[in-house]
Chain A
Amino acid sequence: MELVVSAIITGLGLGSMYGLLALGFHITYVVSNTVNFSQGSSMMLGAVLGYTFSVTLGWPFPLAVLAALFLCGVFGLFVERFLVRPFADRGSNGWLMATVAGGIVLDNVVLFTFGKEPRSFPSPLANEAITVFGVGAYPLQLIIPVVGIIAAAILSFALTRTKWGKGMSAVVQQPEAAKLMGINTRMVIAGAFALSTILAGIAGLLIAPLFNVSSGMGLVFGIKAFATAILGGITSAWGVVIAGMLYGLVEALTTAFFGSSYTQIIAFSMIILTLFLLPNGLLGQAALKKV
């Protein structure tokens, strides 16, 4: 029982991180059919800036968080303006490589400025373990899934039920018509990229106290988050968050029951099998192709 409960707590916490990052892939995809492959680096940026402001410079924590997320958003605007738009405007897929390269550049800039050694991010929510169903867990581990679910709910509601969200959807479905209706499509797309990197920054700030802060911390998360975005169906906010949690649970439960040697084999096989059965992911919708 202890084994199962601890694996569920671990899996939900990890999975929610993947889900938050995957929401970033979702939001840019639904408005521009492009994604930011430097999401992992954006997550790292949130953690590094949060650490720098709150620990190194001693700013009050709420101010440090706001400043870190603001700068993450600025990075998202930069990505859209210089790494995506010049390619997307010309119908090129160059943004795929440009965003990967942007992430690598950011990782290395942080390596030289922040330093080579990982740092510990202190948090009162990850100091003392509390007992949940007989197993120890940090309060932060329980908060992370809640943040993931709230983020998915807000995004899903905003995109489908509000005028602003419908406008965003219109940008990708009928870009010319959207322009004629007075929607500033460039601003909507840029805003989506800023929002995606802010979500990644939130993930970075949440995970840093449980892990550590370093320039390379986002790489594996970014890859797994993209896998869960595809698994969930990248067009569905709920899909990517649910897929993130499922993926985290499969990882943790596989480790618990079969041993860590089998974790990646089983987890990624599950993704392949699911996509074989559901090509559009768990809750994704097939795009209409006009011929």
Chain B
Amino acid sequence: MSVTRTIGSVSRRAVLAAVAATALGAGALYSNHVRAEDTIKIGLIASLSGPSAKSGEAITRGLTIAIDEINEAGGLLGKKVELIRRDDENNPGKGLIAARELVQRENVAVLFGGLQTPVSLAIVPFMNQIQKPFMGPWAAGTPITKNGADPNYIFRVSAVDEIVDIAMVDRAVAVHGSKKPGMILINNPWGESNEKGLKAALEAKSMEYAGIEKIEAADIDVVPQLTRLKDAGADTLFMVANVGPSAQVMKSLERMKWDVPVVSHWGPAGGRFSELGGPRAKDVEMIQTFTFSGNPDPKAAQMFEKLQASFPEIKSEADVTPAVGIANAYDGMHLAALAIKNAGSTDGPAIREGFYAIEKHEGLIKTYEKPFTPDQHDALGPQDLLFTQFIDGKIIPIKE
């Protein structure tokens, strides 16, 4: 009997608890629902862990400052803007899964990408198919925006490989008098994208090249590849690789005592390249779209102050390296906000038209005038690139 009572008592408690939990859960769901309706969601899929995690951190910082500014000014379409992030783990498959989740479940208005071209290339067809705008704040692969889709929902505020490659060839010729450069490229789609771009840029100048060598992320010693380029008569090296492999190239050059100019894409612009690349790290001349160091624009100083206020761990300019991720994401977010305002809704096709309707925006990198048209989905051009050096942990523009 007592057992029955106990069971009955527990059952009643359990029922009450279940009812209460259901009520609380329903309340929470309702609350979430209301909150979802009250915000405009912006998605970010970037490397938040692993060796490229610094890039995800930089994009997050740029987006956070821009979103804070937008919310302080009253938000968008009467609603607050909210950032939702997912880690792509440098994996195109995981990036695509995260894109599906953010677009289909979270209903983000605009999705931002990360550093890795292969991840962005995996997401691009899905975004065009589902007709939601994608903004690239970093990955520079040419086919990301020039993807052949019509209509094209992919926009970018970043360097573009084919333009970077032209700038690299121009610099090698103009500054180093190069006649026969060699290429040392990372063995992935980003390297392939630049191989095409560099070949086209050299062909446009009727120049030959000494050779093309590939490097893997785990290559310890690049001397065999570099020796082949040296023996083939390379007078300048074009380097396209991320921090680790770029550092191995510079260490191998030091070991070989080969004093050859190295003109690079922006891959080495990671926080510790000075430390990893050894004494030759400072010799790399690399593309950037923005730097805090040596930047006379007062907007750069203001942005740095905002970053320090929002992220107390930032003590010096060396702590916001590379700055391109911050600046590109910051400007990309403000341009996306203008597109949503122009659209008057979070409907994908309307936002796409909203991007085309942007007339002028005073950004951090530059003043954008008619940045996007149906034929031009890249807001930055050749005039927005600058060559820099990595000195004592800071990226500093090269003074010619």
**List of A residues within 8 angstroms of B276 by Cβ:** 118-120, 212
Does A116 contact B49, Cβ atoms closer than 8 Å? Answer: yes
**List of B residues within 8 angstroms of A116 by Cβ:** 49-51, 53-54
Does A117 contact B224, Cβ atoms closer than 8 Å? Answer: no
Decide if B218 is an interface residue (CB 8 Å cutoff): yes
Does B224 contact A136, Cβ atoms closer than 8 Å? Answer: no
Does A136 contact B256, Cβ atoms closer than 8 Å? Answer: yes
* Stretch with Cβ within 8 A of A (4 or more), from B34-42, B68-76, B107-115, B242-250: B242-250
CB-contacts of B71-86 with A (<8 A): none
**List of A residues within 8 angstroms of B49 by Cβ:** 111, 116
**List of B residues within 8 angstroms of A95 by Cβ:** none
CB-contacts of A105-148 with B (<8 A): 111, 116-120, 129, 135-138, 141
Decide if B254 is an interface residue (CB 8 Å cutoff): yes
Does B225 contact A220, Cβ atoms closer than 8 Å? Answer: no
Complex: A116 Cα to B254 Cα, angstroms: 26
**List of A residues within 8 angstroms of B53 by Cβ:** 116-117
Q: Tell me how far the C-beta of A10 lies from the nearest C-beta in chain B, rounded to whole angstroms.
A: 4
With CB as the reference atom, state the residue of chain A lying closest to B279. A127
Does A136 contact B257, Cβ atoms closer than 8 Å? Answer: yes
Does A120 contact B256, Cβ atoms closer than 8 Å? Answer: no
**List of B residues within 8 angstroms of A207 by Cβ:** 220
Interface residue range, chain B: 35 or more
Does A211 contact B54, Cβ atoms closer than 8 Å? Answer: no
Decide if B213 is an interface residue (CB 8 Å cutoff): yes
Decide if B215 is an interface residue (CB 8 Å cutoff): yes
Complex: A137 Cα to B130 Cα, angstroms: 55
**List of A residues within 8 angstroms of B243 by Cβ:** 118
Does A211 contact B213, Cβ atoms closer than 8 Å? Answer: no
Complex: A221 Cα to B256 Cα, angstroms: 24
Decide if B214 is an interface residue (CB 8 Å cutoff): yes
Q: Tell me how far the C-beta of A44 lies from the nearest C-beta in chain B, rounded to whole angstroms.
A: 12
Does A118 contact B221, Cβ atoms closer than 8 Å? Answer: no
**List of B residues within 8 angstroms of A3 by Cβ:** 224, 227-228, 231
* Stretch with Cβ within 8 A of B (4 or more), from A27-35, A149-157, A253-261: A253-261
Task: Please encode chain B, from 27 to 62, with 1 for each CB lying within 8 Å of some chain A CB and 0 for all others.
Answer: 000000000000000000000011101100000000
B224, B231, B257: which has the most chain A beta carbons within 10 Å?
B224
Q: Tell me how far the C-beta of B114 lies from the nearest C-beta in chain A, rounded to whole angstroms.
A: 14
Does B221 contact A260, Cβ atoms closer than 8 Å? Answer: no
Contacts A3-B227, A6-B227, A116-B54 hold; do A260 and B218 have CB atoms under 8 A apart? no
Contacts A116-B54, A118-B272, A129-B254 hold; do A10 and B225 have CB atoms under 8 A apart? no
Q: Tell me how far the C-beta of B238 lies from the nearest C-beta in chain A, rounded to whole angstroms.
A: 15
Q: Tell me how far the C-beta of A17 lies from the nearest C-beta in chain B, rounded to whole angstroms.
A: 8
With CB as the reference atom, state the residue of chain B lying closest to A3. B227
Q: Which residues of B contact A (CB under 8 A)?
A: 49-51, 53-54, 187, 211, 213-218, 220-221, 223-225, 227-228, 231, 243-244, 247-248, 251, 254-257, 270-272, 275-276, 278
A-B contact pairs, 22 of them (CB 8 A): A7-B224, A116-B49, A116-B50, A117-B54, A117-B270, A119-B272, A120-B247, A120-B278, A129-B254, A129-B257, A136-B255, A212-B276, A214-B51, A214-B244, A219-B218, A255-B224, A255-B225, A256-B224, A259-B211, A259-B228, A260-B214, A260-B225
6 closest A-B pairs by beta carbon, nearest first, are A116-B53, A220-B218, A255-B224, A260-B214, A256-B224, A10-B221
Query: Apart from A117-B271, A120-B247, A129-B256, what are 11 other A-B pairs with CB-CB below 8 Å?
Result: A7-B223, A14-B220, A117-B54, A117-B270, A118-B276, A120-B278, A129-B257, A210-B220, A210-B221, A212-B244, A217-B218
